[in-house]
Structure 1
Amino acid sequence: MSVELPLWRALTGYRLLTLGYALTLFFLNYREYAHPAGAALYMGVLTLWTLLTWNRVTSAERCTKSFLIADLSIAIAGILLTAVLDTGERIAAGSATLPSIWAGGAVLGMAIKGGWRWAAVGSTIVAVANLAERGAAARDTVHNVVLVWVSSIAVGYIVEVARASERTLARALQIEAATRERERLARDIHDSVLQVLAMVQRRGAALGGEAAELGRMAGEQEIALRTLVAGGLVPPQRSAEQLAEDAELVGAVRTAPAPPAGPCDVRALLAPHAGATVTLSAPGTAVLLEAAAAAELAAAVSAALDNVAKHAGQDAQAWILLEDEPGEVIVTVRDDGPGIPEGRLADAEREGRMGVALSIRGRLRDLGGTAELVSVPGQGTEVELRVPKDRRGSEDTR
């Protein structure tokens, strides 16, 4: 809901309440006016105008500039007519004008519609009319004039700040949605296209001849695609050894079984990873998780194992531990490789190598979970993935 809507509703109530207040003052002092019939005629016009136009101040679209001018004109006319229809003694004593505080509603309408500048213009016109009606700058009149002037400008300024905040929030939500979609596409690219290009580059370099040229082109496209995935940043120049390292085969793209509709057993998705170098430890009973979340979790585990094969070597041992907790599913992937040097992950992200940032952490973040990576040089690496079973609470929190 727009922050302006409560202000328009409050203004509608203000106009109706202040109309009742002005009518009460008029009836209590009816016989004291110099021209009671003229005063009654104006109050009748003011009542009809307020009742017939009450819905014009319920939204910014209905409250047009022409309506605000007409509304302010009726308020100014009532203030100036007070000098003609009331007695000089009552005016000198500081009696209320015919519209009384109803005139403030016209100024507040200009403040909400046009901001503090419109409020300053409207309140200044009302102030001049009040001083002209009184004929002197009496203390109570000046006090009321300053109060209307300051309050209306403050309301107008608050409205402008609220509008700017709404625009900033809308822009931030658009950027967040675009960023999430970009990260999702980047994960898919990293898990498929980049690995295939790396395989073509490595195999082409090994075969030589025309295949080597094809491999070189595949390597160039891989670098360009990594740059795009990383956000369009130009990567630093790298040596031939670094390019060869980038082009190492991560492994054939693992194809996990398609998750069925409804709850899915995470054990079935992790079972294909078990082998001579990968040990899977799981509960004896089914570990159920929403199908889409289970598939994303399995993809994150696959990305972690790809990193083991790439950085620890094809012969490195890895262990997968699946735990079924009451509120979440925990998967731990540990290896006995050399570990990750300090600062290497940050350097990889700057160079466009987004495996950990997107394929692992990005996936878990979108699931409302967490991915913690602990690595000690010479002692291997451990990745702990946590996915909540009830994702609705996580999505509401985000």
Structure 2
Amino acid sequence: MPSPPGGFEVPLWRALTVFRLASLAYVCVLAVRDADRYAHPLAVGALVLVMIVWTGATALGYARPAWRRWPLLLADLGVVLAIVLATPWAVGRAALATGVPTLGVAWMAGPVLAWAVSGGRRRGTVAALLFAGADLATRERIGQSSFTGVILMLLAGVVVGHVARLAVTAEERLQRAVELEAATRERERLARGIHDSVLQVLALVQRRGADLPGEAGELARLAGEQEAALRALITGTADPAGPGADAGEVDLRSLLGRYASSTVSLSAPATPVPLPRPVARELAAATGAALDNVGRHAGGRAWVLVEDEGATVTVSVRDEGPGIPAGRLAEAAAQGRLGVTQSIRGRVADLGGTVRIVSAPDAGTEIELSVPRADR
């Protein structure tokens, strides 16, 4: 998985470029020193020229995050393998038998490190094994020194790959921490604004209307309840039900039963409709928001139907009101009225469900809320 620009892997790619340049310089020094011992000096010079060009190409390619993908990784592997396999012919097996080093020397570890940085230990190990096999194939005699180079290459692929994965994991955790900190600061900012406006108004309504009779007193009581709920929401305090309130399942019928009245007809299966407690609460709250809209815009008469379909649970809310004019929902959302957008669609979307609204002028409205039964 390539890292984004500025990620923790960037220093590793830069270090890889430095390693390839330094190892190339070492190859050039050896080529000049042993030129008179090679079987085909001109071929060695051509191969060294290819190595110089390819080192520059990979330095430019790996510097761009978008290019650190399979095409360049495979090309890097293929070019270096070809140079390693051409060593016995260009250098000569007789020269190799007398102790002349292979042409690739440390330079051929470049693709191994590139694969390790790009894909972790597994890729690094695969590339190291390929080069180990190619290197051993070029030797007539395989001794302890030959295996030492193979082991070192394997260790380099494993260790560098492990460090690269640690860098990616650390970057992901840092990103999550930054996002959490930003969300916390935004929540605190909103909490200050709500405290200075909405909460104070609700508290004032509760105090002024607490002793009033009739509907005025009921409104004051509701204002007090909403103030407590809103204050708990913005402060992030525990649910009044206490720790473990979200554990287990609950019968959706029990939560929807409180909405049944002389104007709201509830039809549900005769058997329980179990749902994870958080899912049931949110689905019931979305149903309550839909019924609230019915009370304000459709005269309050509504029919609620609960259907347990096994993998999903569907709640339908139907009324006989004037219907929703075309474009009215988008207009309400633009005006900041987010009852349908947030209280209904937002809740159901967070549960992984869908909302279907069917409405026509003078033909009422039907809102269908479907959520998966899986515990999300």
TM-score range, shorter chain: 0.5 to 0.7
Q: Which residue of 2 aligns with 1:217?
A: 222
The answer to whether the aligner puts 1:186 opposite 2:191 as a matched pair is yes
Alignment of 1:1-398 (within 5 A): 1-231=6-236, 233-236=238-241
Deviation at 1:94, TM superposition (A): 4.1
Q: Residues 34 and 100 of structure 2 are in contact (CA less than 8 Å); yes or no, is this contact kept in structure 1?
A: no
Deviation at 1:16, TM superposition (A): 1.9
Deviation at 1:13, TM superposition (A): 2.0
Q: TM-score if structure 2 supplies the norm length?
A: 0.59
Question: 1:162-184: per-residue Cα shift (whole Å, max 9, x none)?
Answer: 11111111111111111111112
- What letter corresponds to residue 11 of structure 1 in structure 2? L
Q: RMSD between aligned alpha carbons?
A: 2.0
Deviation at 1:232, TM superposition (A): 7.1
Q: TM-score if structure 1 supplies the norm length?
A: 0.56
Deviation at 1:196, TM superposition (A): 2.3
Deviation at 1:22, TM superposition (A): 0.8
Q: Which 4+ runs in 1 deviate beyond 6 A? A: none
Percentage of identical aligned residues: 43
Deviation at 1:85, TM superposition (A): 2.5
Question: 1:23-51: per-residue Cα shift (whole Å, max 9, x none)?
Answer: 21112111211222322222222222223
Question: 1:69-103: per-residue Cα shift (whole Å, max 9, x none)?
Answer: 22222221222222223333432344321122111
Q: Residues 206 and 224 of structure 2 are in contact (CA less than 8 Å); yes or no, is this contact kept in structure 1?
A: yes
* Separation in 2, partners of 1:96, 1:66: 30
Greater shift in the superposed pair: 48-57 or 200-209: 48-57
Q: Residues 93 and 140 of structure 2 are in contact (CA less than 8 Å); yes or no, is this contact kept in structure 1?
A: no
Q: Which stretches in structure 1 are left out of the alignment for 5+ residues?
A: 238-398
Question: 1:241-262: per-residue Cα shift (whole Å, max 9, x none)?
Answer: xxxxxxxxxxxxxxxxxxxxxx
Q: How many residues align?
A: 237
Question: 1:101-157: per-residue Cα shift (whole Å, max 9, x none)?
Answer: 111112111111222211111111010011111134311111111111101211111
Q: Residues 112 and 159 of structure 1 are in contact (CA less than 8 Å); yes or no, is this contact kept in structure 2?
A: yes
Q: Which stretches in structure 2 are left out of the alignment for 5+ residues?
A: 1-5, 243-376
* Separation in 2, partners of 1:202, 1:51: 77
* Separation in 1, partners of 2:77, 2:99: 22
* Separation in 1, partners of 2:126, 2:229: 58
